[in-house]
């Protein structure tokens, strides 16, 4: 098993770099059947490996001076067929529209400008959970229940925090997750610091308020029965419009490839009302305004100084870099499996490959060398043993690659 795992990790690098469909064509001393079995039919527990990887990554980052953050985001992978686990017509970020795809919710650890994906759960739409025959064919566990992406994100956060006991400094996510006040309140209850982006139409209250059943106004309809805030709400966009230039402070967020990234920031204590459980919560509103006019709104339960909050908000940038590197350098989105466990095993092995690259980047940084993920991959391609390419193997690669275009060719002929 250990040998196959090493071959698979090599295959992620070599096949992704050479645009090869079949790993066995480039990995020395391997064959297609063993690599396929490793993902689809073997019994190794991907969650246990994922957890071991999470602990290793956290320990590695904990030695740095920058705080360790957990970044939550989803990533979609386009799929043409209908048999791959979780595939459905849904929003696909990779194509920017409603499309046929699989969606996974991911957790990544980040420290400074180093980031590594450590946890993932595939999103299973209701149409999959309700179809027992389809679920069985994709080897989805019988006890699997429908969960929203927000519920999957919450599971990842609490799994890392409570079960693995990895006490990250804060968790950060975009407005899709930040809109859920119940999630924010549950994080507060567990003592987890968060930095959550929110939409510009998010309602806030600028002062504390009581929650009461309002009295009936003379001659005005029915008597009210539901408690609500005794205050006037305002959207964060409306609030921002009333700010002056002097209300902002220019802060350096992080170092970029072309110099320091700076933006203007404003913070204010605000209150939110949860209509579901009739509770109020007090947070800090953070507004970021870039030189190009882009405005970003976030909520946090941290009471730290503005420069620290600005740094926290800026860290979410690196989860996009993590996805970009994982897809371009180790083929996170390049697989030919359909089953539930097989999907998670491929993702886990991709995480392991990226963790190696991340650790190597930090080691090189210690001796004054600044390598990108692409640089590390180029070195690995040079070092790792690969199969020599002869005319027959080259022909096989071209043939396998062209299989992907066969449905399109048939469709054009039919048209």
- Please state the domain extents for the chain: 193-216+223-315
Where is pLDDT greater, at 185 or 12? 185
Residues 88-98 have pLDDT tens digits of 999 998 888 99
Band of pLDDT at residue 181, cut at 50, 70 and 90: very high
Band of pLDDT at residue 21, cut at 50, 70 and 90: low
Q: Is the pLDDT of residue 344 over 90?
A: yes
Backbone angles phi, psi at 212, to 5 degrees: -140, 160
CA 274 remoteness from chain centre: 26
* Candidate from 23-32, 173-182, 185-194, 315-324 with smallest mean pLDDT: 23-32
Average pLDDT over residues 350-367: 90
pLDDT of residue 412: 44
Residues 29-38 have pLDDT tens digits of 656 677 777 8
pLDDT of residue 43: 86
Q: Strands 68-78, 170-173: parallel, antiparallel or unpaired by DSSP? A: parallel
Q: What angle do helix axes 317-330 and 373-383 make, rounded to 10 degrees?
A: 20
* Candidate from 249-263, 273-287, 317-331 with smallest mean pLDDT: 249-263
Backbone angles phi, psi at 117, to 5 degrees: -75, 135
Band of pLDDT at residue 409, cut at 50, 70 and 90: very low
Q: Is the pLDDT of residue 411 over 50?
A: no
Residues 145-169 have pLDDT tens digits of 999 999 999 999 999 999 999 999 9
Cβ distance 39 to 69 under 8 Å? no
Most confident of 21-30, 91-100, 341-350: 341-350
Band of pLDDT at residue 16, cut at 50, 70 and 90: low
Band of pLDDT at residue 86, cut at 50, 70 and 90: very high
Question: What percentage of the chain exceeds 90 in pLDDT?
Answer: 63
What does the DSSP 8-state code read for residue 294? -
Band of pLDDT at residue 27, cut at 50, 70 and 90: low
Beta bridge partners of 296: 288
Structure tokens at 210: 């009581």
Q: What proportions of the chain, in percent to the nearest 5, are helix, strand and coil?
A: 40, 25, 35
In a 13 Å sphere around the CA of 85, the CA atoms on its Cβ side amount to 24
Distances (CA, A) of 94 to 122, 300, 347: 16, 28, 17
Rg (CA), the chain: 25
pLDDT of residue 190: 96
Cβ distance 72 to 160 under 8 Å? no
Give the CA angle between residues 159, 161, 167 to the nearest 5°. 155
Task: Name the average pLDDT for the chain.
Answer: 87
pLDDT of residue 37: 74
Q: Is the pLDDT of residue 415 over 50?
A: no
């Amino acid at each position: 098993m250990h040998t196959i795992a090493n071959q698979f990790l090599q295959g992620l690098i070599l096949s992704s770099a050479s645009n090869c469909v079949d790993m066995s064509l480039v990995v020395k001393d391997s064959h297609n059947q063993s690599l396929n079995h490793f993902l689809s039919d073997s019994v190794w527990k991907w969650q246990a490996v994922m957890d071991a990887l999470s602990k290793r990554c956290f320990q590695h980052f904990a030695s740095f001076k920058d705080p360790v953050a957990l970044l939550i985001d989803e990533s979609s992978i386009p799929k043409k067929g209908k048999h791959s686990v979780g595939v459905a017509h849904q929003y696909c970020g990779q194509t920017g529209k409603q499309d046929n795809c699989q969606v996974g919710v991911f957790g990544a650890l980040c420290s400074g400008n180093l980031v590594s994906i450590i946890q993932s759960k595939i999103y299973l739409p209701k149409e999959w959970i309700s179809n027992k025959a389809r679920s069985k064919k994709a080897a989805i566990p019988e006890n699997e229940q429908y969960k929203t992406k927000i519920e999957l994100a919450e599971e990842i956060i609490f799994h890392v925090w409570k079960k693995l006991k990895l006490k990250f400094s804060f968790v950060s996510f975009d407005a899709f997750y930040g809109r859920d006040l119940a999630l924010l309140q549950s994080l507060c209850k567990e003592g987890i610091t968060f930095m959550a982006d929110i939409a510009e139409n998010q309602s806030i209250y600028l002062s504390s308020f009581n929650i009461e059943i309002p009295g009936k106004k003379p001659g005005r309809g029915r008597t009210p029965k539901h408690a609500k805030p005794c205050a006037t709400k305002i959207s964060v966009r409306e609030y921002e419009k009333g700010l002056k230039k002097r209300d902002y402070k220019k802060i350096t967020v992080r170092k970029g490839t072309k110099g320091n990234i700076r933006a203007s920031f404003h913070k204010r204590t605000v209150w939110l009302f949860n209509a579901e459980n009739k509770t109020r919560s007090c947070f800090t509103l953070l507004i970021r305004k870039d030189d190009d006019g882009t405005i970003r709104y976030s909520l946090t339960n941290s009471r730290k100084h503005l420069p620290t909050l600005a740094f926290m908000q800026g860290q979410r940038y690196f989860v996009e870099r993590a996805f970009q590197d994982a897809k371009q350098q180790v083929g996170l989105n390049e697989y030919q499996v359909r089953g539930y466990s097989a999907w998670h095993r491929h993702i886990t092995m991709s995480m392991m490959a990226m963790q190696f690259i991340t650790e190597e980047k930090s080691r090189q940084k210690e001796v004054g060398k600044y390598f990108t993920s692409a640089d590390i991959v180029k070195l690995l391609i040079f070092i790792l043993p690969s199969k020599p390419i002869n005319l027959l193997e080259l022909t096989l690669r071209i043939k396998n690659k062209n299989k992907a275009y066969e449905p399109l060719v048939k469709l054009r002929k039919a048209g």
